[in-house]
Chains A and B, each alone.
Chain A
């Protein structure tokens, strides 16, 4: 989707979009913005978030609630300046030619402010879509406040109780002037998405192009209820021991041991008895790994979670591949993300087939995924915003459970080791070793 020119100098993709967030504080705007950016980048669409709060913080690092009072001229001036600086930088990013989707993360809670942004961005030939998160559910708002006050740089190092009170006062100041999009019926011409009560109701107005509809589709799948995603590879397989890739082998003795210990490991990391939904691939080794999990966990098998298809190299060792297909072996190391095995898949292909999984994952609550090295790398890259250069090299050791918890300002990772020995299947660039220890940074 990136803008490209061909031999006769025509732009392939000239569409540029500015996503303008709208909504009171603690409605999950930054969370949505951050997610959308990550998703687009994962799909190779250049995207960047411009957070007005970050611009304001350079001028007013930790302001109190009255800074946000509309009757405070000093606060008003500084906030306006921050918005102007953010928009200016954003337009500059578009002009530099690298930008396709920018996300302007701010409250934009008045009609006047929205009109100002719209005029400014439209005059540069960039399409605008407003995305509003509207929420009246007190419980959800409070959960968000708790989350924000512990993670927002505005309250870093402050007493959490005081921070919560101050933050609620700040929201009250915004509420005084807040107008939901088209509340008065005179913003009907805007392209907008309004998500009410975390997707219970949604309004989509005047979507003008495909990329907009795609962003809308993604955002409709998001929710802000707290949850985690657990990732694990299957237990060590017979082919792992031999250093062979792919195949559909059963578990090794140690792999079986991991399957037996997994329920305890999961229980320890969940910290309660609440049930998870378990997704496995359709291959024997993941199904076997999941089979001792509690009966009240729902289990689903996904074809899309099957391991990267190594085509003609399926079932070979790296040494065999290097001997039989030396050019391919080298080509793969040069651009592992894009390299497609003969008759098989590339990491890019895997990302494309995982898209429905990501959508479903976003919609769902607690999920445990038991899958394979390349697939877990791609899912991990989505949550941790790894680049295409990094993601195919990320170490994902066997017999280890990862817990990913999405937060407003990023994803938290916790690792739980089963302490059951297993071979390493990580491979460094150029190496043909059967088993080698992963480099700390994945070797990139």
Chain B
């Protein structure tokens, strides 16, 4: 392989220079640690591949503004969560690296009768992308390569499947087919925001223009009907699926199952801690909210509703149409304190669903034991725990890994939900769900912090999710930090400073910060944003 080119791509492709942060979705990060197990991995293997499935190339099919990138990013997030080594190869990254940032491809780049120069350029870009795919599958134990491109013609797809087969790679095509004007316009509106060409234009008109431009640029697109290929055709964002199954294997079926729950409509997920209960220390007691807990619940409702309305006004000011807010669903666990934290909102008419899978991590024998007691009773367990806080399980307790496996159905339902969603749960559950949406590493999950004075808002975007923290003003500082509600499982301190092995008990080394009462909502600055700006408008 051309090493110069690889270096060039490394310099230009965002996935190579992304740096981990728990507030930016880590989906495009390349893991440095080969031994890092995924959150809900069923088992570990020497190769890092599931041994009951071969190597798969998932090839995306569909014109721009069909939600392809969103689908492949979501799919990668889910597969990696399940412990399948997955990486996305956006053809656009290779195009940019080849023709240069901001340089347009020739007008006839996508034409069936393109000039020899354009054809050669296209071939060159395709070849480089594919060489990277093979390199990753062959030398880095990759299992699923997701190839994100338009792939508009049947002949091109047949050739691609043949080529992959030669390399002992099974191909599964996933087409996103949209003929619903509303969905197209909505997608186009989301895409065009980043393009200066449409600056200051009426959003509907800009969307229309954008769609027309796609049509002139890519005049030929054949929807999938190839009998001999494995494919999934997703129509209008999940309204209907058609599967042509020549030889689906375990992973293909799993992907199909995931896709039936996926949709490409924008919606936001909020995370909130449950209020404090009267019997903080008991896992089994299932105590009701204390008085402070009730006051907290009122604050949550007030802050959240105010924030949603502000966001809507801001969007309108930005040129979005004056639509009413999306409906908001609320999920709680079946434990009283989470149910009661939802009550103020329920009284306002919001629908609350209780999910039994969302109960907090089971502390097992650690229930009602102080840190000292745990250390003296189970010194060996504490040692093991400190080595691997994610996978270690105290006697009769659940590990975070157990919790993640238990929450997997919730993950699928989370994807299915079309409304905005507020999840009120114990911090342990929030950690695992947050880790899925933001793709955090298992080393970080047990350490993620969700103080009570913040509502976490997760906004999905095509390329990655973004997290935002919304401050809840006017809370008693004592009430805010990770409370004794936490189960008493020691978590090793962060390298930056001493902290209590038991977050629930607080630590003298960790003074409570004084809270500024009216802090503006803090937007997480997404440094990758500029880098991905034209990614969403990709036309490859």
Contact = CB atoms under 8 A, between A and B. Distances in A.
Interface in B308-351: 334, 336, 339
Interface string A211-245: 00110110011000000000000000000000000
A122 to B, nearest CB: 20
Contacts of A353: 42
B43 interface: yes
Interface string A1-21: 100101110101100000000
B111 interface: no
A6 B354 contact: yes
B253 A359 contact: yes
A206 interface: yes
Interface stretch (A97-105, A156-164, A295-303): A295-303
A200 B336 CA distance: 47
Contact of A359 (B243, B246, B250, B394): B250
Nearest to A342: B395
Contact of A363 (B43, B253, B412): B253
Contacts of B250: 356, 359-360, 363
Contact of B356 (A4, A210, A216, A312): A4
A38 B261 CA distance: 23
A342 B396 contact: yes
Contacts of A201: 242-245
Contacts of A200: 244-246
A304 interface: yes
Contacts of A213: 257, 260-261, 412, 416
Interface in B385-414: 393-396, 405, 409, 412-413
B23 interface: no
Contact count band on A: 35 or more
Contacts of B242: 201-203
A214 B261 CA distance: 9
B51 interface: yes
A143 interface: no
B52 interface: yes
A209 interface: yes
A209 B339 contact: no
A352 interface: yes
A202 B245 CA distance: 8
A324 interface: no
B134 interface: no
A444 interface: no
A199 B245 contact: yes
Contacts of A249: none
A352 B408 CA distance: 11
A29 interface: no
A204 B245 CA distance: 13
B404 to A, nearest CB: 13
A322 B43 CA distance: 31
B399 to A, nearest CB: 10
A217 B253 contact: yes
A8 B52 contact: no
Nearest to B357: A1
A317 B257 CA distance: 43
Contacts of B396: 340, 342-343
A199 B244 CA distance: 8
Task: Label chain A's interface by main secondary structure.
Answer: mixed
Contacts of A217: 253, 256-257, 260
B396 to A, nearest CB: 6
A216 B245 contact: no
B371 interface: no
Contacts of B395: 311-312, 342-343
B260 A302 contact: no
B416 A12 contact: no
**Best-buried of A221, A301, A343 by chain B (most CB within 10 Å):** A343
A303 B43 contact: yes
Contacts of A269: none
A10 B354 contact: yes
B42 A6 contact: no
A363 B248 CA distance: 9
Contact of B339 (A10, A216, A343, A359): A10
A4 B260 contact: no
Given A203-B240, A207-B260, A356-B42, A6 B416 contact: no
A214 B249 CA distance: 17
A1 B43 CA distance: 26
Interface string B83-124: 000000000000000000000000000000000000000000
A115 B403 CA distance: 42
B280 interface: no
B539 interface: no
Given A303-B42, A303-B43, A304-B43, A360 B416 contact: no
A205 interface: yes
Contacts of A202: 241-243, 245
B286 interface: yes
Given A220-B256, A360-B250, A205 B245 contact: no
B425 to A, nearest CB: 15
Interface in B231-245: 238-245
A209 B253 contact: no
B334 A210 contact: no
Contact of A304 (B42, B239, B245, B248): B42
Nearest to A11: B354
A217 B334 CA distance: 27
**Best-buried of B43, B245, B246 by chain A (most CB within 10 Å):** B245
**Best-buried of A10, A300, A359 by chain B (most CB within 10 Å):** A10
Interface string B276-296: 000000000010000000000
A342 B44 CA distance: 22
Contacts of B45: 303
Given A7-B286, A210-B416, A301-B51, A205 B354 contact: no
Contacts of B356: 1, 4, 12-13
B260 A204 contact: yes
A202 to B, nearest CB: 4
Contacts of B240: 203-206
B339 A8 contact: yes
A6 B52 contact: no
Contacts of A210: 261, 409, 412-413, 416
Interface string B193-221: 00000000000000000000000000000
A220 to B, nearest CB: 6
A372 to B, nearest CB: 16
B424 to A, nearest CB: 14
Interface string A187-211: 0000000000001111111110110
Contacts of A221: 253
Contacts of B249: 363
A412 B232 CA distance: 35
B243 A302 contact: no
Contacts of A207: 238, 260
B218 to A, nearest CB: 27
A203 B256 contact: no
Interface string A318-350: 000000000000000000000010110000000
A175 to B, nearest CB: 25
A6 B246 CA distance: 47
Interface in A1-48: 1, 4, 6-8, 10, 12-13
23 contacts: A6-B354, A7-B336, A8-B336, A10-B354, A200-B244, A201-B243, A201-B245, A202-B243, A203-B241, A203-B243, A205-B241, A206-B239, A214-B257, A214-B409, A216-B257, A220-B243, A220-B253, A300-B51, A303-B42, A343-B396, A359-B250, A360-B52, A363-B253
Sorted from nearest, which 7 A-B pairs have the closest CB atoms?
A303-B43, A217-B257, A202-B243, A204-B241, A210-B413, A213-B260, A342-B395
Given A6-B336, A12-B354, A204-B240, 18 more contacts: A4-B334, A6-B354, A7-B336, A10-B354, A12-B355, A199-B245, A200-B244, A201-B242, A204-B241, A216-B257, A302-B51, A302-B52, A304-B42, A311-B395, A340-B396, A342-B396, A359-B250, A359-B253
